[in-house]
Structure 1
Amino acid sequence: MTRSNEPSRAPQGSPPVRSLGIAAVDPVPFCREGLSAIVQRTPGLHWAGHAGNPHAALQLAEQVHPDVILLDSGLDPHGHLTKLLVNGDASLLVVLLVRESHRTAPFLQAAMLAGTHGVLPRTAEARRLVEAIRRVQLDRRYLDPALAPLVTQRQGLRPGEPVVATQRPRMPLSRREFQVLQLVAEGLENAAIAKILYLSVETVRTHVKSILRKLSARDRTHAVTIAFRGGILIAQPDDGTEGQTPAPPSGMVEQRAR
């Protein structure tokens, strides 16, 4: 799959105007559908797809190459996913949709240091979301007015001054190791992981050995336990979705039909 570059309509004889491909990473289906509806009715934007968990988010970025990812903060409470996404594609813009429980100065500070380009409340109005997308496209930075006081008050800054964070989020694993560990945590064996990630079984085995070494883990189960305790892996956010059957790995990433 290639980057979504669907052009907006332009007058006949004029060069096509490139629209921005927007994708969402959110565990709740109706939230993803709402974001899709907002994007598809906004000129200059088109829907590039969605994912429901961190592993699928990395697949989405690799396979679909959206311009902007709208990321639920519940799926990235420590900034690890954001860091892997932006390190993997310097042109990718990440807009964090912040849950009420994450509306704190330390969380916002860490999110921006991890590489987030824009932050706004997950409950923001549609027009505010579109504004955030436009601003990160132009300035590569957007801090919603509702959240700005948390950052400026904490550091004694005036609006518009740069934020200087004091602690970087630590992610000991590479992008691919993170994906492998996510699938190990789902109970998959090396052969199944290799099929999902389009790798050889030997390559997966090498990644697993590296994960065990970096986490000082005795075995796969111990590595998963360490990763959850250390915040490298997270439990599925509580959004009233308990009891639902997760989609199979091959269906985690869905992109807009062409």
Structure 2
Amino acid sequence: MSTVLVCDDVLPVRESMRRQVASVPGVTRTVAAGAGGATARTAPGGPPDVVVMSCTDPRSAEQVRSWMAARPQTAVIAVVAPGDGDTGGAAMAAGACALLVREPSTPELTAVLHHALAVSEARRVASAAGAGEEVPVLTEREHQVLAGMSRGRSNGEIGKELFLSEDTVKTHARRLFRKLGAADRAHAVAIGFRAGLVR
């Protein structure tokens, strides 16, 4: 069973998207709520596998980050207005796994949703594999790279801050992913927050 939560403050837009999402093969349940708030994170029926979140302003990135901290196994799709690359980029840096431009075609929505469902499944598997294990010790560099990720920095930006090449940052990132049992950057950051490795 796969659940998708559609978040948008405008009721007609929200319902239109929810109906479109419900028509996608592989989606068995849809829920709708206001964009990104506490009501969404406590939606009935347990946490969703995927959140389709309307991202309309710079605060949206913090809503995505909040989602990832509260529900690290959930995959977030950020829905942005046409041409709004800045908001979309900030949402991706905060942990969204994909972007959609508002009013997507059904084939586009289907492809992105299937990708997000696969991401959510990978995170669940990684979390189950690491359940009950002690949090491993990270090296100083791995701590620094994880801290950079938690601030939404790209690998290139982390490299500049630490005077490292981007390839070196990627190597540290791969190692800390393995140590934490994380499927991706957002999952690693969520684990890091819960374990007190980043603040």
User: What range is the shorter-chain TM-score in?
Assistant: 0.5 to 0.7
The one-character-per-residue Cα deviations of 1:50-99 (angstroms, maximum 9, x if unpaired) are 11142322332x86311101000126644111001111122101001111
Matched AA of 1:125: S
Instruction: State how far apart, in whole Å, the 1-side matches of 2:68 and 2:94 are.
Output: 9
Q: State TM-score, norm by structure 1.
A: 0.43
Match of 1:20?
2
Aligned pairs for 1:132-171 within 5 A = 132-139=112-119, 164=155, 166=157
Return the match for 2:91 from 102, 107, 111: 111
Match of 2:109 in 1: 129
Q: 2: CA distance between counterparts of 1:64 and 1:75?
A: 27
2: CA distance between counterparts of 1:46 and 1:39? 10
Between the aligned partners of 1:21 and 1:75, the Cα distance in structure 2 is 26
Q: Any runs of at least 4 consecutive aligned residues in structure 1 with deviations exceeding 3 A, and if so which? A: 75-78, 163-167
The CA distance in 2 between the partners of 1:57 and 1:75, in whole Å, is 18
Give distance in 1, aligned partners of 2:58 and 2:112.
19
Alignment match of 2:42 (pick from 37, 47, 59): 59
Q: For residue 17 of structure 2, what is the aligned residue in structure 1? A: 35
Amino acid at match of 1:112: M
After superposition, the Cα gap between the structure-2 partners of 1:132 and 1:58, relative to the gap in structure 1 and judged at 3 Å, is same
Q: Deviations over 1:171-194 (max 9, x none)?
A: xxxxxxxxxxxxxxxxxxxxxxxx
Q: Once the two structures are aligned, what percentage of the paired residues are identical?
A: 19
Larger Rg: 1
1:135-214 to structure 2, matched below 5 A, reads: 135-139=115-119, 164=155, 166=157
CA distance in structure 1 between the aligned counterparts of 2:91 and 2:62, rounded to whole angstroms: 9
| Cα pair 1:69 1:94 within 8 Å, conserved | yes
Superposition CA RMSD, Å: 2.5
**In structure 2, distance between residues paired with 1:24 and 1:57:** 9
Partner SS, residue 64 of structure 1? coil
For residue 133 of structure 1, report the CA deviation from its aligned partner: 0.8
Question: Which residue number corresponds to residue 72 of structure 1?
Answer: 54
**CA separation of 1:75 and 1:66: change in aligned 2, threshold 3 A:** farther
Amino acid of the structure 2 residue aligned with 1:56: T
- The equivalent of 1:90 in structure 2 is 72
Compute the displacement of 1:136 (Å): 2.1
Q: Distance in 2 between matches of 1:69 and 1:95?
A: 6
Preserved contact between residue 39 and residue 46 of structure 1 (Cα < 8 Å)? no
CA gap 1:165/1:129 in 2 versus in 1, 3 angstroms: farther
- The TM-score, its normalising length taken from structure 2, stands at 0.54
Provide the C-alpha distance between the structure 2 equivalents of 1:23 and 1:78, rounded to a whole number of angstroms.
16
Contact 1:76–1:82 at 8 Å: present in 2 too?
A: no
2:197 paired residue number: none
TM-fit CA distance, 1:39: 2.6
Distance in 2 (CA, whole Å) between partners of 1:110 and 1:52 is 20
Distance 1:47 1:114, change over 3 A: same
Does the 8 Å CA contact 1:98/1:120 hold for their aligned counterparts?
A: yes
Number of aligned residues: 124
Contact 1:48 1:64 in 2 (8 A): no
Q: Which runs of 5+ in 1 are unaligned?
A: 1-18, 141-162, 168-258
Unaligned runs of 5+ in 2: 121-153, 159-199
